[in-house]
Amino acid sequence: MTDSPSDEMLDRALHNVLARAGALAPRRPTADLVARTAHRLPRTTPRLAARRAAVRRVLVRSVMTLLLLLVAVPAVAGALTLVRGAETPLARLAGVAGQSDARTELVAATMLRLDAPLTRTLLGVLLWLGQVIATMLVAGLWPRRSALAGVALLDAPVRAAAVGMLMAGSLVIGAGALLTLLAATIAGLPVALVVLLLLQAPFVLGIVVVARALGPRLAGRTVARSEVDLATLAAAALLALPAAVAGSFSLAAVLPVLYLLAAPGLGALILSRGGMRYTSRYYSEMQNG
């Protein structure tokens, strides 16, 4: 059967109505659609995939429970030691070191050498180089997530800074209390060292996010690209200067400076859900190149 002239007229009229309404114009997929299509289905059967997922959940929960016990048991023992008023290992070590005049002189001589201008300058250079390398390595491992968190920082800088300062303060206070309990026992000293090192991880990520937000500004762009480029390197080098300058004067000022620099990026990580929340601004910029 062939279409009658009336059907053709109706089709043409409907096409004109849809065209005037803009329904026929090509549209870009939304950010939610892109986020959903980015997830790939497993290449195994659903039953096998569900079984593997259940095994992974059990393993993750077991590891998390063991880690929690590894921290909680020494912390409880340290709290009991402090409550009883017993001598802690650090106090005992300080007392033994104070009884030896040779050790005291050695420590004093070492501090004088560290306080020398040339030594402070060298430490500042090493701090600058180490921060730049760490920033670029982490940004290279998570380029897209760090870029998305950088967009969140640019979209709401005040809110990100406020959330980051609150989170940084909570981490420092909570970790300080936990380290005090862990350092009260000999068994807790290695755990305290590990906790102290892990405490720096969120602040390193925060500095990376700040670098990913600052890099495009230096290059004259709106948002960061998916890959790490020279703009990110320039931003990382610029952000490493305050800690390096502070370290050339006093090593005690390095961590506070780093924490202040990382606070906005830490807040942006929270607002962007760890760099997993796509925004229309980021997607449009990526499409425009």
146 touches 275 (CB < 8 A): yes
- The amino acid at residue 153 is L
> What's the rounded Cα separation, in Å, for the pair 7 and 61?
65
183 touches 88 (CB < 8 A): yes
Which residue bears the tokens 């009884």?
A: 99
Q: What angle separates helix 230-249 from helix 117-141, to the nearest 10 degrees?
A: 150
> What's the rounded Cα separation, in Å, for the pair 91 and 103?
16
> What's the rounded Cα separation, in Å, for the pair 151 and 158?
13
Q: Which residues of the chain have pLDDT under 70?
A: 1-7, 22-44, 86-118, 222-226, 277-289
Residue 182 tokens read as: 């862990």
pLDDT of res. 166: 92
pLDDT of res. 84: 76
Which residue bears the tokens 């807040």?
A: 267
> What's the rounded Cα separation, in Å, for the pair 149 and 271?
8
pLDDT of res. 89: 63
**Domains of the chain, residue spans:** 49-288
pLDDT of res. 287: 47
pLDDT digits (tens, 9 = 90+) for 109-153: 555 555 566 677 777 778 888 888 888 888 888 888 888 888 888
Which residue bears the tokens 């206070």?
A: 173
Residue 282 tokens read as: 């980021």
> What's the rounded Cα separation, in Å, for the pair 112 and 103?
14
The model's pTM is 0.66
